[in-house]
Structure 1
Amino acid sequence: MILVFCDPGDVRKLWNAHYNSLSEDYRRQYDNVNRVHNMVLTYMSVFLQSMGNKLDNFDLPTLKTDLSLQSGVFREVQEECSIVVEDDHLRAKEFLNPEQKYAYDEIMRHVCIDCTGVFFIDGPGGTGKTYLYKALLANIRKLGYIALATASSGVAANNMPGGRTVHSRFKLPLTPDNNSLCRIQKQSGTAQLLRLAKIIIWDEASMAKRQVVEAFDRTMQDISGVALPFGGKIMVLGGDFRQVLPVVRRGTRAQIVDSSLRMSPLWSSIINLRLTINMRALTDPWFSNFLLRVGDGVEETVDGSFIRIPDDMVIPYTDKEKSLDSLIDAVFPSLEFNRSKSDYIISRRIYYSVDEAIDDKNGFYLLEFLNSISVNGLPPHYLRLKVGCPIILLRNIDPANGLCNGTRLICRSFQQNVIDAEIAVGQHAGKRIFLPKIPLCPSDDDMFPFKLKRKQFPIRLCFAMTINKAHGKTIPNVGIYLPDPVFSHGQLYVALSRGVSRCNTKVLVKPNENSKGDGVYTANVVYKEVLHD
């Protein structure tokens, strides 16, 4: 992590200082000095390659023999073949409902007869899309095939065994256009992995810009030499077009709709093979039906787009401070109790960032000004934490081990240069990790007339998050604060559907000129042109 993110000045000095610690475990297993030396470098090489880097880029000793590959097999292929198939996932096919079973059987039929096909699994949250993916992945891997699990968000990727974000797996372009390709070399391990893959699952594909999906399609055809959609691979795309569409910075409605996968020329090849799951888990039938009506834009409205929030889900608005306190008490009922505990108060830490304008040769921008800047996607200058608080990761640190952008963690202890945290959800839940400070820059280069560089832990507190950041999450107690109405397609639906039931979902709406005397109303924005063919 230090090599990839922290730009150390003297790498060889770092190696010499810490080699004994790095090699301690291997020295207990092997007496051969050269073998231990190679094992340490090989382990480092595997991580560097997973982050798109390699040993040769740093001032490090060279491997005396190449142990990073065995029998000419690429590391990426080895990594996929080593995924352990869990018995629960193998047995999942026995518990599929009829619609899931139809989707499973149809996809497995294409796998068994080696027939190409592009499927779209369409269903709102709670329909069991992830459960279906796990059943497919486990049983296809059990047959000895390579099955790649990817998702547009780190949260969704962590819900699948071996899951990776599509950007880290496919090297997708960050600013795609209609002719973009993925940054994958034909002779690379990633290219070989894609050629060998029997099936590729891409969850939350509805969140991805169509240009990104099209870039992957062109890349797969180029890598495989097969002029069929996605190079003739069995492709399973999944998602929910009721949710927030791809983000187009300052985009109009027409531009946002045009970026959707449904507007892609590829959709004609997907639609004929699409499998639709239109059911929802009936743990709370009324809430499920209400969510579907909101998502489909058919809930009864007044003044065009304003819908009434059910009275038992509403936090009454009196004034801002008291109303917010009521919402917080509903979502975090233990905060008031813990406030009086001495260890809850003293186990706190403040970390300060190191900021600079890296292209400011004349020193126009004062340090105090740089420290005051708050940017989406960057941690704050003053990072205030306490043991037990929830945090969210802001960068892909180690996707193979669950450290993706959007991963939720719990702080366990603090050191001067690292934070000890525990992954809270997903397949890596419970794993303890150490987070270092790393240099970070805003993703939008034109946000400022200078390039801001902030060295800080790549995290933010996560007692609250934006609606867009909540994609893919299921939260036991949900509080939704709407000081202003939502402004884009699917935002209200995403916010409401994070909860598991009606009684555990509370909404606080600030009154405005559209408020009615007989209830609480808020806007529900739905672009129906992306919901129907």
Structure 2
Amino acid sequence: MFDCHVNVEVCSTIQAVKYLYKYVYKGHDRISFNVVKPGEQRAVDEIDQFQSGRWVSPCEAAWRIFGFDLYEMHPVILPLQVHLPNMHTVQIRPHERLDVVVAADKHSRTSLTEFFRVNAATPDDTGCLYNHFTESPSEGERYFLRLLLVHVPGPKSFEDLLTVAGYTCATFQEATLKRNLLEEDESVDLCLAEACFVQMPGALRSLFATILIFCQPSNPSALCLKYYAALSEDFSRRFPDSEAKIKQLTARSVEQSLEEMGKSLKTFGLDHLLEPTDDELARTRDIIDSLDAPIPDHCIRCRESLNPAQQEAFTCIIDHVKQKKPGALFIDGPGGTGKTFLYNALYAEIHLMGPIVLPTATSGIAAANIPSGRTTHSRFKIPIDTEASLGCDVPKQGSVAALIKETTLIIWDEASMARKENIKGDFRQVLPVLPHRTQREAVDVSLTAENNYVQLPSEVLKPLEDGRDPITDLTSLTFPELDLRNFTSDIFTTRAILTPMNDDVDSINTELIKKFPRQPVMYKIFDMVLDDNCNVYPTEFINTLCPGGMSPHELVLKEGSPVILLRNILPSPGLCNGTRLICKGFSPNLIECVIITGHHKEKHVFIPRVKQRPSPSSKYPIFFQRKQFPVKLSFAMTINKSQGQTLS
């Protein structure tokens, strides 16, 4: 209409804040009145005669005379300044001279400089943090200063914040990088460089595959070329005169790890590393790998130790295999009754006969308990997002289809735990607190019909004593070696504290890592809000969130402490959701661990930082991304998380 730019303002009052501050700002009740003489008759002019007033009681009058507070706010919130050196705000009145104001000592003092002064004057360090929630990354150095203030306890000056391990950084951004408070662009490169020092080529190749899948490096080819010598070190020693064979074995090793997660070198533009193969060889590659899969000795011995119920199921299934009868058989039983033991016996027996067996499981930790186990989503390409599609990505002429055609037996552990869109069943595999009587010696439980109470035997109870901390008693009972400071990591293989709630798990783990000997190593997370263009949510708020299956904000670990993996990284080498490990070494971008359970026990692995997002099924209101090591302490676990674990 006006063919120009027009500024539009909406004028309102504080009364628009209707409910949050209603009784602070709305004022007192009022009445309209006017004063007339008795019997007086005159024209009524409401505007001229209008009076607005209120009645003040003696109590309120006395309260106001003494100046008592009319309202309060809890907690008290004061705005704190965050400014770069000599960049604070100074107020000057019209009658004051600028040079005098600037030279005055009182105008150089701010809440931040006084915070530094108090810390410097305190011999034992206050350990306080300086919290402020307004800066965004677009503010540059001021944003990086705020990151330091909210993470570095008790700083004494700007110079103190800039100093990291005796080195004085040139900028606050550099200081945040040195303190690992900010993600570095070359973090993937540094992660591989740190892993090369350990000189374990097999673990390094698995790490490289993990980085390709979860870290999305911008130039995978350059990364592969830079670390090719370390990736192929063991093959170079075995075949010093065959460069082509070394390249082929190295590429195939990485490719096998990628295939476990439904990826390939071609996905990342590295297909030139693989030798050209004809279509028939590519189609039968999975068949050859399945036929060549090793059979662990303990699985062969399982056949001799089956109990009568297991033997009955074993005989029935083997009969179907020998007579080539089709069938779908469901092994039913609570957790801990030996279903996995039966599957290991079936795998060994049929594999020794020659046919192909495909062991799968709904969860990664259960898949790791069976030789050559894979998750069903990985093996049969079941879509994770069932809202997008319910069809499995298995082409008719592909290698997976050819493998399934040649398969004699498919083992699907925890089939009833799959999503109902894939298969329907009951959730029997969730670990019961009190299992019913099975082949194993049952717990003697007496049920009182009148009140439905279960009376537990005294040997499984730990009475709570008055004045005693139940958590301290429980941890001392479970891990008495921690108090004696004399133990090996074996104690964490078969022991854990189980509890239904994640909050209890976190508090117990926090208590035990404090008692754990050796020096702590702390890793901070890198959080990024993905749908917050207006900077509504400060980073510190996102840091406080910890949805299920994600790492905590501050990950405190010690050498020898037990941890549990929170997601499937590479199931084939044992890195799946629920795998328990022992920490062996720490680098800024890498954790070296040893697997302590399952078929991959005693295997050394590398854990990198990976990008994590809340599960879509959690319906989390904030869409954010977290980069952190996908582990948490496992002195204590939830009952659901312990499913598939073997604990004595």
Q: TM-score, normalised by structure 2?
A: 0.58
- Is 1:99 the counterpart of 2:309 in the alignment? yes
Displacement of 1:411: 1.0
SS in 2 for 1:36: helix
C-alpha distance after superposition, 1:197-242 (max 9, x if no partner): 110111222323343226xxxxxxxxxxxxxxxxxxxxxx9x9837
80-89 vs 467-476, which deviates more? 80-89
C-alpha distance after superposition, 1:42-84 (max 9, x if no partner): 3322222222112222243614633699944544323322221
Residues 159-170 of structure 1 correspond to what in structure 2 (within 5 A)? 159-170=369-380
C-alpha distance after superposition, 1:245-275 (max 9, x if no partner): 9xxxxxxxxxxxxxxxxxxxxxxxxxxxxxx
SS in 2 for 1:119: coil
Identity %: 37
Match of 2:576 among 391, 404, 408: 404
Does the C-alpha gap of structure 1 residues 449 and 104 become closer, same or farther in structure 2, counting only changes over 3 Å?
Answer: closer
Distance in 1 separating the partners of 2:229 and 2:473:
54
Counterpart in the other structure of 2:542: 370
C-alpha distance after superposition, 1:393-438 (max 9, x if no partner): 1111111111111111111121221111111111111111111111
SS in 2 for 1:350: strand
- Structure 1: which 5+ runs fail to align? 215-236, 246-277, 294-298, 477-533
Counterpart in the other structure of 2:194: none
Q: Is the 8 A contact 2:335 2:431 kept in 1?
A: no
Displacement of 1:367: 1.2
Distance in 2 separating the partners of 1:446 and 1:440:
14
- Is 1:86 the counterpart of 2:233 in the alignment? no
Distance in 2 separating the partners of 1:34 and 1:130:
41
Q: Is the 8 A contact 1:38 1:67 kept in 2?
A: no
- The residue type equivalent to 2:367 in the other structure is A
Does the C-alpha gap of structure 1 residues 312 and 178 become closer, same or farther in structure 2, counting only changes over 3 Å?
Answer: farther
Q: Is the 8 A contact 2:357 2:407 kept in 1?
A: yes
Counterpart in the other structure of 1:3: 212
Q: Is the 8 A contact 2:251 2:274 kept in 1?
A: no
Displacement of 1:12: 2.7
Distance in 2 separating the partners of 1:109 and 1:5:
44
Does the C-alpha gap of structure 1 residues 97 and 61 become closer, same or farther in structure 2, counting only changes over 3 Å?
Answer: closer
C-alpha distance after superposition, 1:62-112 (max 9, x if no partner): 146336999445443233222212344334333323222221111111101
Distance in 2 separating the partners of 1:343 and 1:464:
14
Distance in 1 separating the partners of 2:617 and 2:407:
36
Residues 320-331 of structure 1 correspond to what in structure 2 (within 5 A)? 322-331=469-478
C-alpha distance after superposition, 1:451-505 (max 9, x if no partner): 11000001111111111111122212xxxxxxxxxxxxxxxxxxxxxxxxxxxxx
- Is 1:184 the counterpart of 2:394 in the alignment? yes
Counterpart in the other structure of 1:211: 421
SS in 2 for 1:470: coil
- Is 1:20 the counterpart of 2:192 in the alignment? no
Match of 1:394 among 566, 582, 588: 566
- Is 1:57 the counterpart of 2:215 in the alignment? no
Residues 45-444 of structure 1 correspond to what in structure 2 (within 5 A)? 45-60=255-270, 62-63=272-273, 65-66=275-276, 71-176=281-386, 180-213=390-423, 241=428, 243=430, 280-282=438-440, 285-287=441-443, 290=445, 299-300=447-448, 303-304=451-452, 306-318=453-465, 322-338=469-485, 345-444=517-616
Distance in 1 separating the partners of 2:278 and 2:464:
61
Distance in 2 separating the partners of 1:314 and 1:374:
32
Does the C-alpha gap of structure 1 residues 69 and 337 become closer, same or farther in structure 2, counting only changes over 3 Å?
Answer: farther
Match of 1:450 among 622, 626, 640: 622
Aligned residues: 410
Does the C-alpha gap of structure 1 residues 392 and 302 become closer, same or farther in structure 2, counting only changes over 3 Å?
Answer: farther
Displacement of 1:280: 3.0
Distance in 2 separating the partners of 1:320 and 1:414:
39
Counterpart in the other structure of 2:82: none
- The residue type equivalent to 2:392 in the other structure is C
169-178 vs 88-97, which deviates more? 169-178
Displacement of 1:118: 1.0
Q: Is the 8 A contact 2:335 2:430 kept in 1?
A: no
- The residue type equivalent to 2:522 in the other structure is I
Displacement of 1:178: 13
Distance in 1 separating the partners of 2:283 and 2:348:
22
134-143 vs 19-28, which deviates more? 19-28
Q: Is the 8 A contact 2:334 2:431 kept in 1?
A: no
Does the C-alpha gap of structure 1 residues 61 and 444 become closer, same or farther in structure 2, counting only changes over 3 Å?
Answer: closer
Distance in 1 separating the partners of 2:280 and 2:478:
51
Distance in 2 separating the partners of 1:60 and 1:402:
25
313-322 vs 360-369, which deviates more? 313-322
Displacement of 1:3: 0.8
C-alpha distance after superposition, 1:349-395 (max 9, x if no partner): 11111110122223222111111111110001110001111111111
- The residue type equivalent to 1:189 in the other structure is S
- The residue type equivalent to 1:161 in the other structure is P
Displacement of 1:39: 3.4
Does the C-alpha gap of structure 1 residues 54 and 118 become closer, same or farther in structure 2, counting only changes over 3 Å?
Answer: same
Distance in 1 separating the partners of 2:559 and 2:565:
16
Q: Is the 8 A contact 1:150 1:203 kept in 2?
A: yes
Does the C-alpha gap of structure 1 residues 205 and 178 become closer, same or farther in structure 2, counting only changes over 3 Å?
Answer: farther
Aligned CA-pair RMSD: 3.1
SS in 2 for 1:76: helix
Distance in 2 separating the partners of 1:435 and 1:177:
31
- The residue type equivalent to 1:329 in the other structure is S
Displacement of 1:125: 3.8
Displacement of 1:149: 1.1
Displacement of 1:129: 1.9
Distance in 1 separating the partners of 2:274 and 2:584:
40
Does the C-alpha gap of structure 1 residues 58 and 174 become closer, same or farther in structure 2, counting only changes over 3 Å?
Answer: closer
Q: Is the 8 A contact 1:315 1:323 kept in 2?
A: no
- The residue type equivalent to 2:583 in the other structure is C
Does the C-alpha gap of structure 1 residues 128 and 64 become closer, same or farther in structure 2, counting only changes over 3 Å?
Answer: closer
Distance in 2 separating the partners of 1:178 and 1:398:
24
Does the C-alpha gap of structure 1 residues 136 and 10 become closer, same or farther in structure 2, counting only changes over 3 Å?
Answer: same
Displacement of 1:343: 12
Does the C-alpha gap of structure 1 residues 357 and 302 become closer, same or farther in structure 2, counting only changes over 3 Å?
Answer: farther
Q: Is the 8 A contact 1:46 1:75 kept in 2?
A: no
C-alpha distance after superposition, 1:139-176 (max 9, x if no partner): 10111111111222223222211122222222323354
Does the C-alpha gap of structure 1 residues 379 and 320 become closer, same or farther in structure 2, counting only changes over 3 Å?
Answer: farther
Does the C-alpha gap of structure 1 residues 320 and 6 become closer, same or farther in structure 2, counting only changes over 3 Å?
Answer: farther
Q: Is the 8 A contact 2:563 2:583 kept in 1?
A: yes
Does the C-alpha gap of structure 1 residues 473 and 243 become closer, same or farther in structure 2, counting only changes over 3 Å?
Answer: same
Distance in 2 separating the partners of 1:320 and 1:149:
51
Counterpart in the other structure of 2:206: none
Counterpart in the other structure of 1:499: none
Distance in 1 separating the partners of 2:642 and 2:541:
30
SS in 2 for 1:52: coil
Higher RCO (C-alpha under 8 Å, 6+ residues apart):
1
Does the C-alpha gap of structure 1 residues 445 and 105 become closer, same or farther in structure 2, counting only changes over 3 Å?
Answer: closer
Distance in 1 separating the partners of 2:530 and 2:409:
44
SS in 2 for 1:121: coil
Q: Is the 8 A contact 1:152 1:203 kept in 2?
A: yes
Counterpart in the other structure of 2:180: none
Counterpart in the other structure of 1:225: none
Displacement of 1:319: 6.1
Q: Is the 8 A contact 1:177 1:211 kept in 2?
A: no
- Structure 2: which 5+ runs fail to align? 1-209, 489-513
